[in-house]
Structure 1
């Protein structure tokens, strides 16, 4: 059976001022439909570069990214990205920011009434329907990220790509948004790939955690299955043996990699 998403022997190099830097080397990974996969590793290991390759924002140097057996070589609405910076247009309301994406993706496919209903349905999904007429400056950072997620989901993507979406938020807001993402994943059953530095976040949200080696020429060091039943409760998991074992495995991998870098310096 063909994989839903296949990252097939990817290499990625960047060249600047005649100097070539090998960022990723021979990265191979398959992701099933409906999976939640986190990618974790130290700074400079190419996590965001890998996400950009999947999004089609950057071209591979060699190898291929295949979504449903079709090669990815450009951006497309079937791969929506939520960045750490929400990227909302400040002069538009919450509704208008989401509607902008809906109009672009569903032009000629949905009526005006259908598009309006679809915008509100996605705002409701992230509990932001009440703020539809507010502008970004009038809402909190966490609320802005909810709108960013709603905008991405409104494009009805096959894969939702999350690039450290909660990194700039305070701990409590971050926890609420993690719970919201888990609920959305449970309701929609969509495929999600998230970049994170947060071990607890990765274990809480993921079906699998992809651990990257240090750059340059980073590759996949280990892939950890997280066999914790869903739905997941963060309070109950605090003393769950499987959660603690998974957390320990990721921390051990990252610590060993950090120690290796220090020894080489």
Structure 2
């Protein structure tokens, strides 16, 4: 019997019906992710990255293939897979604490109110937002809202954390601060993380592996690059290392030489 990784995508394909006939978005996706790994998905717009993430989340059913998590088939959403989108999706009429407590109540219903509150505040402390527990989203900056979104996701103790360009709408300084926070949280919790990004430097800084996707339609995995950089990682120190620059070069070569942007080609 073959070894199956903690998170295994086997033979995944997605075909959508359209008025012009079937449209194949993804084909022949084979991806094995071990427990505690941080994997970044990168590729041009339209290559199916979000569709792939949504399949792991159980929000989209593949036309072919199966997703296994710890040996069990994934075919519907569940609290064992928390998703962080670019839009934090906080409820504006609730406080920060109440927004996180919504998630905690779903997974810790058997715990006392005091225990759940302690857990909410613990997770807000992990993202450095405990001081804002009584504030409402309208009183927070974009970066602070995204920190609360991360706290809400990790408070569910998910087996896999799925992140769809979580820092894409933030300014460079806020983005760098949140990247550092995510690295610190992952080091502490040893989450299995799958993150979509368009940012090559972000992928190399955060990930153990960078999975590069070919252009759509019928996109698939073009290359799977292991990032051999020690942790903890410091962005300033790493920027001058041969391993960092090698990984960065490999990804840029893939994206801009082997698979340039199809929009640019059309132009």
Mark yes or no: TM-score above 0.5: yes
Give TM-score, length-normalised by structure 1: 0.97
Pair 1:139–1:43, CA change in 2 (3 A): same
- CA deviations 1:43-71 (Å, max 9, x no partner) are 00000000000000000101000001111
Matched, 1:83 2:89: no
Identify which of 33, 36, 39 aligns with 1:37: 39
**Structural mapping, 1:111-122, within 5 Å:** 111-122=112-123
State the Cα distance separating 1:222 from its structure 2 match: 0.2
Identify which of 8, 11, 19 aligns with 1:9: 11
How far apart are the structure 2 equivalents of 1:195 and 1:96? 28
Is this contact kept in 1: 2:44–2:261, CA < 8 A?
no
Aligned to 2:103: 101
State the Cα distance separating 1:263 from its structure 2 match: 5.3
Aligned to 2:162: 161
Aligned to 1:199: 200
How far apart are the structure 1 equivalents of 2:265 and 2:85? 33
Is this contact kept in 1: 2:211–2:221, CA < 8 A?
yes
Is this contact kept in 1: 2:142–2:170, CA < 8 A?
yes
Give TM-score, length-normalised by structure 2: 0.96
Please state whether the residue corresponding to 1:19 is helix, strand or coil. coil
Aligned to 1:215: 216
Aligned to 1:177: 178
Please state whether the residue corresponding to 2:194 is helix, strand or coil. strand
How far apart are the structure 1 equivalents of 2:166 and 2:265? 32
How far apart are the structure 2 equivalents of 1:225 and 1:154? 29
Identify which of 18, 21, 24 aligns with 1:19: 21
Q: Segments of 4+ in structure 1 off by > 6 A?
A: none
How far apart are the structure 2 equivalents of 1:260 and 1:126? 38
Pair 1:114–1:259, CA change in 2 (3 A): closer
Please state whether the residue corresponding to 2:17 is helix, strand or coil. strand
Aligned to 2:56: 54
**Structural mapping, 1:252-263, within 5 Å:** 252-256=253-257, 257-258=259-260
Aligned to 1:234: 235
Work out the number of aligned pairs and report it. Answer: 264
Matched, 1:66 2:71: no
Structure 2: gaps spanning 5 or more residues? none
- CA deviations 1:95-141 (Å, max 9, x no partner) are 00000011111112x11111011000000000000000000000000
Cα RMSD, aligned residues only:
1.3
Is this contact kept in 1: 2:215–2:262, CA < 8 A?
no
